[in-house]
Structure 1
Amino acid sequence: MIQPRSVAVGGAHPYTISIGPGLLDDTALLAGTLRGDAFVISDDQVAPLYLQRVVEALSRARPGGRIGHWVLPAGEASKTLARFGEAIAAIAEAGLRRDATVYALGGGVVGDLAGFAAAAWMRGIDCVQLPTTLLAMVDSSVGGKTAVDLPQGKNLVGAFHPPRAVLADTGALRTLPPRELRAGLAEVVKYGAIVDAPFLDWLEANADALLAGDDAALAEAIARSCAHKAAIVERDPYEHGDRALLNFGHTFGHAIETGQGYGGLNHGEAVAVGMVQAARLSERLGLAPAADTARLRALLQRFGLPVSPPPGLDADALLAHMRLDKKAQSGGLRFIVWDGAGRARVLAGVPEATVRAVLAGD
């Protein structure tokens, strides 16, 4: 039996990330997150697997309390203002009050949309993140960034809304399709790339166990990733400084996702490509050795992730998406680059010609 682990996130709005199997059924843990009525938001892939379990656990946690739910179509294409409006309408129909709690049961799309709905309803009610994908467990559920996409770009409309708690039930990863598990591993690799080079050593040594879904290996990877993100978020809750490091690979990755109309590579796959592109950009700018780029590329390939941009994407269109990226400023493009493994930083004023050359594979 693997004992649950916890990671504390400090700052102005502290909360705890709990990690381990069986947490979706943990009545005592859920009871500690609930003040008034409960409302679960999920998608049509996750809900058949886990919604009833969560509703029953919440019913035990608050006998006689009202527990509503709303289910949206799965996939990035649902992370829109229109779906956000539907979520708000469902919350209004349920009559949620200021002491209610929204539970985001699903992957990153559900977490982002449900968190944004909780942030907006009555100017902010509690949200508890119940991530069911590895990517959501190590990234989107932690830190309180919530948003929806626009045709012009990813995550452009949203709010900072820290969760009341995060419950990462590693048992849910047993039903995760292999492609989604690999996508989550891209974000795990990111933490080694930006702040923890020895973590890359550990990932190389434990790659087979992680791909096989080994509970102990996954729990260690999740806890270590969450600890890194928690430390960064605590220092910089609103992304004025260090928190931007968490976007290593994301400027390229988000542009690819937008360029494909959110229907090609998934988020983790796009980030994997983006990290290699960011490493190549760093190398081209004379900041990092080619050997570190090669090592990163090899590790991502070992996890079965793409490392090159998909064909058919126009460099000018990708650059246009990058200019709308949230890290861009009036002075030009900003990228998260690295000086080698474990040493990432923000670099402003990157020449577009250099970015274009990287996109062209030069």
Structure 2
Amino acid sequence: MDTLTIKTSTNKYNVFVGTKLRFKTQELLEKVYKSILIITDSSVSELYLKDVVQSFADNEKVYTAVVPAGESSKSAGQYFDLLTKAIGYGLDRHSLIIALGGGMIGDLAGFVAATFMRGIDYIQMPTTILAHDSSVGGKVAINHPEGKNLIGNFYPPQAVIYDVDTLHSLPDKEVRSGYAEVIKHGMISDLSLFHEVKVADLTAKLDDKIVTSQLLKGIKVKAAIVEKDEKESNIRMFLNFGHTLGHAIEAELGYGTITHGEAVAIGMLFAIRVSEDHFNISLPFGELYDFLEKNNYPLRLPEMNNDVLVSRMKKDKKSRDQHVQMVLLEQLGQPIVKEIADTDLVNLLNTFFRELG
């Protein structure tokens, strides 16, 4: 088992990465809780919920709540229903919520924890590759029909328990989704990670040792940034590389039509083209495109109105005064945030989508 410690302005917590950790949940916690609510989704519950529940053999007050799998569950309705269940189960300010699942569950359960009785403890137990990113850093949220993660908070967990055994049950699209964020961390900070991942064959069986190493590298990139900027006032925005267009695509197509990481992958390609145009440089667009194409990422999308996409991009949390702020690359590994004019965006999107075919 590998352990990283994340230090923020509000707390310090450990990230545990290893195998069979779901069977050791109780012993990895620093506190004893009299009541625990495990929130998961309908896919994960069939695979791992029983294991986590049984790791609390001495605690009779372990409750569970299962929401439908998929991004559509990260909604106001599911959020309110979970609060109602927490009240009904008698949770109090000394209880614990466990977010068992992917990024959707981490965001949703974390937001429930952040707001129930003005905030109670929670831990992240990610079961996807994508969640190596979302489970670290304390950003929790639900979606609004007008945009992704528009209702949320900064609320760090008490721990992150990452059992890499759970990754073997992931469908191919979720492996792709997660590795988009892994390669993102390489592109904005760790060039060795980028060059390592860009040749990866995601269609082959996952190797625990390689995946663990790459996840740890990605988590270290995020941890270093979060420790310097917990509330996303400056450099934490760099972690949104590819997300400005990615979030707009997700919202326009309908959440769940393609995965978050698949949308971000297209967003990163676009951010590279905007960077090349803005700074008059050459970046590894072809290398990233080849990695995505080889690993069956969806690169050709249904036709979308580019003016509508720009309108959605303006709802991005980085936007200021209705102007789109994008994370660009001055060079590989050197991110920067720049304002891009609407007309430029529309023209660049027109060219970009023609290029993708």
Q: TM-score, normalization: structure 1?
A: 0.93
Distance 2:295 2:32 in 1: 38
Counterpart for residue 34 of structure 2: 36
Counterpart for residue 355 of structure 1: 345
Distance 2:25 2:139 in 1: 27
TM-superposed CA distance for 1:199, in Å, is: 1.4
Q: Is the 8 A contact 1:146 1:158 kept in 2?
A: yes
Counterpart for residue 145 of structure 2: 151
1:213-250 deviation per Cα after TM superposition (whole angstroms, max 9, x unaligned): 00001000110000110110000000001100000000
Distance 1:313 1:198 in 2: 35
Q: Are 1:293 and 2:291 counterparts?
A: no
Q: Is the 8 A contact 1:113 1:146 kept in 2?
A: yes
Distance 1:190 1:183 in 2: 11
1:163-210 deviation per Cα after TM superposition (whole angstroms, max 9, x unaligned): 0000110000111111111110000000011111121122235x1378
Matches within 5 A, 1:1-362: 4-12=1-9, 13-27=11-25, 29-32=27-30, 34-59=32-57, 63-136=58-131, 138-205=132-199, 207-208=200-201, 211-289=204-282, 291-308=283-300, 310-330=301-321, 332-348=323-339, 350-361=340-351
TM-superposed CA distance for 1:339, in Å, is: 1.6
> Residue 346 of structure 1 aligns to which amino acid in structure 2?
V
Q: Is the 8 A contact 1:30 1:57 kept in 2?
A: no
TM-superposed CA distance for 1:11, in Å, is: 2.0
TM-superposed CA distance for 1:211, in Å, is: 4.2
Q: Is the 8 A contact 1:209 1:217 kept in 2?
A: no
Q: Is the 8 A contact 1:98 1:125 kept in 2?
A: yes
Distance 1:298 1:29 in 2: 44
Q: Is the 8 A contact 2:34 2:59 kept in 1?
A: no
TM-superposed CA distance for 1:120, in Å, is: 0.3
- Of 33-42 and 151-160, the range deviating more from structure 2: 33-42
TM-superposed CA distance for 1:287, in Å, is: 4.6
Q: Is the 8 A contact 1:104 1:130 kept in 2?
A: yes
Distance 2:192 2:237 in 1: 21
Distance 1:29 1:191 in 2: 31
Aligned length, in residue pairs: 351
Q: Is the 8 A contact 1:182 1:211 kept in 2?
A: no
Distance 1:73 1:154 in 2: 18
Distance 1:28 1:93 in 2: 23
1:56-95 deviation per Cα after TM superposition (whole angstroms, max 9, x unaligned): 1022xxx244111100001011111111000100111111
Q: Are the structure 2 counterparts of residues 331 and 77 from structure 1 closer, same or farther at C-alpha, using a change threshold of 3 Å? A: closer
Distance 1:116 1:173 in 2: 24
TM-superposed CA distance for 1:32, in Å, is: 2.9
Distance 2:31 2:213 in 1: 24
Distance 1:96 1:187 in 2: 34
The unaligned stretches of length 5 or more in structure 2 are: 353-357
1:82-111 deviation per Cα after TM superposition (whole angstroms, max 9, x unaligned): 110001001111111111110000111111
Distance 1:321 1:313 in 2: 12
> Residue 165 of structure 1 aligns to which amino acid in structure 2?
A
> Residue 332 of structure 2 aligns to which amino acid in structure 1?
A
Q: What is the root-mean-square deviation in Å for CA atoms of aligned residues?
A: 1.6
Q: Is the 8 A contact 2:6 2:15 kept in 1?
A: yes
Identity of aligned residues (%): 38
TM-superposed CA distance for 1:312, in Å, is: 1.7
Q: Is the 8 A contact 1:281 1:354 kept in 2?
A: no
TM-superposed CA distance for 1:31, in Å, is: 4.1
Q: Is the 8 A contact 2:25 2:52 kept in 1?
A: no
TM-superposed CA distance for 1:114, in Å, is: 0.2
Counterpart for residue 355 of structure 2: none
> Residue 179 of structure 1 aligns to which amino acid in structure 2?
K
Q: Is the 8 A contact 2:74 2:142 kept in 1?
A: yes
